[in-house]
A and B are shown apart, each in its own frame.
Chain A
């Protein structure tokens, strides 16, 4: 009965395709139901299944479910109402080209985002550095048009996908371990082997995050103007930079102080001619 009532209402045509009010209302209902089902399905998935999956897999599955149901709803809408969009597509072709040129950067970012998902130069949660942009932080995600990096000061940096894709990316946490280097000098009068022994023993005992295999390495980097400069190289688990790097020099300095090994000031010897 409703169909008869609505079918008698005025119909109109766009690009050679006939639309009636009934078709539009039916289509709207189908799409609304589709959106509702998609939201419910995604919520159920996120609540019951996503927690047991890796985060990236869960997110991607959630999106596939959501957009998949919406696309299916749209197809149901077009087939059930008999709407033929081929006329619209032809009519919209030229408009599409115009819009395409106007939104070149938008499309470029969209395509770069897809390539980033395929290439996966980094993972969610990785610490990354973009040397060209002087940005360092924790990688949050790839969005439709931009990536997000949470800088270590807690702020979020949005980077267009195209720029991220074409940038040099230094991933700081891709390998299971990282190395940190620190340099300090001892006086020329000191015994180098004794100083290295003190440093090695103290670093190994005081910093539990420093790897014992490979062991901390000590190199005489330079016979400097005032001091013998020792380069300390230690390895640690990739997540534990904050437990090692900020305290390494403090612990090394205290160890040398306790052992009575002098860390000299810059010195200049002046010879006075007669």
Chain B
């Protein structure tokens, strides 16, 4: 077993999902070369844990959407390699988490399943950037409002009304978010990628991005299977602010039925109109 992480669980004592993060962390320590970071001790002893977090890829385990462990990692300026939220894991596996703070059988099984998956995940990394998308020519139209500039690529891209884009090459697609998203969120601090291999329906969730202001769920413009994610965004989410169409792309998918998906998508002209309306409304407030 060569899998190893520096694992930071939220260890939330007063919620069962918080207690499950502890169980997952302990499972990883037992079954791999993982080092444990205690979130309570971390508050008072930087030196001890900062080194561990620098030596190994950091895995952050949050129990619930409050994401205390993620926030602690951000506060300490740590680079996060992977993040897991127990409520999401439970949902994905259709497990109902018990209310009792003493973990029941199904809670323990959930923790075990997450540990196994984490240890299995030593996929040899394919080059994430697909060759097919290296020749895109980016030509932007812009819409300005006050100090904000919103770019929209003029050709080749399709959009949904949730401000996510897709560009297609054969049966493969690359997906991301539009400038409107990064401008509205301002400084993006976290990127939670979708799982490679996950089957996504049109308008399904393709991970999420988060700033100090809000969390934005990436809403897939197309249906398909996730073949790659832009790992760079995990350690450098600011790429999304720099340019969400180029280095800030989110994921690649193998398409299921693009012809059908296309019916519910907008081309440049259609999206530019929607964008202008949204920007104007947003700024009225």
A binds B: no
